[in-house]
Amino acid sequence: MNPGEGARRLGEGLWGISVPSDTLAPWTSTHAYVVGDAGVGWLIDPGGAGTEADAAVDALLQAAGVRDLKGVLLTHTHRDHVAGVASVLRRHGPVAVWAHPAGLARLPSGVGGRPLGPDRRLVAGPHFLVTVETPGHASDHLAFWLPDARALVAGDLVAGRGSTWVGTPDGDVGDYLASLARAAALDPVLVAPGHGPVRSDGRRVLDEARVHRLERERAVWDGLAAGPASLARLREHVYPGLDPAAHDLAERSVLAHLRKLMRETRVMHLGTDAEGPFARAPGA
């Protein structure tokens, strides 16, 4: 799905559209989805704010035939997924906004939310969806499983192409890999991500994300082969020749890997702050 394209029916009870948003490169939009049928539906992740974003969300609701919006569901509270919520409430509300309990305090100002925990079953016309707790990219991340369509509305658990960002302070690679395993256990056919192409080889996109993350972990580990290394040196090892403007994001990603390796007692933190140095643990 690309900005400017119409809403698309993706499967049994599932529609999507690309909504312009202020997001991380290479993306320029966030996908919004409707789950429902027979005139009722849930809106997942309204995406960006502004006239074009409003028009995209309205086109999505119209394509899905939603006359009665049951509520707004959020995969997580990053700005590029929630900036449009207030406008949706003004135009289609009042309806409840449901988010992971950890995300309720991070909603846009003036937007109240209700807590949505894991394994909640929400009815949507003749269909239903189930919440799946999927922290890692964000600590307040949920995915939505549609058994009838065998589809996972994945948020930023994966990107349809390339990799999703996992970094400190909110991201955690250990949590992320566990979330991928939880999603893979559902055996989805369709994976509908927050950014990039919707994938009909669902198991494969989840597996690609796992392999990619383990390759990055390997690169961090190899960066410690010659002895203790600072965070900046590890960043240069894992992401050589990076534009300085991207150093902060890259270092926070390396830290999310180090956090997992330290929890597994394979890596030690020898310094006093995030700069390190870091070292392999004896015998690891």
Which segments of the chain are extended strands (E)? 8-11, 14-20, 29-37, 40-44, 68-73, 97-99, 114-115, 121-124, 127-133, 142-146, 151-155, 190-193, 267-273, 276-280
Instruction: Kindly indicate which of the ranges 145-153, 155-163, 167-175, 177-185 contains the residues binding Zn ion, using the contact rule CB under 5 A.
Output: 155-163
Residue nearest to Zn ion (CB): 78
Nearer to Zn ion, 11 or 103 (CB): 103
Residues 85-144 that bind Zn ion (CB under 5 A): none
Site size with Zn ion, rule: CB under 5 A: 2
- What's the token pair of residue 28? 């320029």
Smallest separation, CB 79 to Zn ion (Å): 9
Which residues make Cβ contacts (< 8 Å) with residue 172, sequence separation at least 6? 135, 136, 139, 166, 256, 259, 260
Residue from 37, 45, 156, 251 binding Zn ion (CB under 5 A): 156
Please tell me whether residue 259 binds Zn ion under the rule CB under 5 A.
no
Smallest separation, CB 164 to Zn ion (Å): 8
Instruction: Kindly indicate which of the ranges 53-61, 74-82, 168-176, 203-211 contains the residues binding Zn ion, using the contact rule CB under 5 A.
Output: 74-82
Closest CA to 18 of 4, 39, 37, 38: 4
Instruction: Kindly indicate which of the ranges 45-53, 156-164, 167-175, 272-280 contains the residues binding Zn ion, using the contact rule CB under 5 A.
Output: 156-164
Closest CA to 17 of 50, 51, 43, 49: 43
Smallest separation, CB 194 to Zn ion (Å): 7
Instruction: Kindly indicate which of the ranges 30-38, 48-56, 78-86, 223-231 contains the residues binding Zn ion, using the contact rule CB under 5 A.
Output: 78-86
Cα radius of gyration rounded to whole Å, the chain: 20
Please tell me whether residue 78 binds Zn ion under the rule CB under 5 A.
yes
Which residues of the chain form contacts with Zn ion (CB under 5 A)?
78, 156
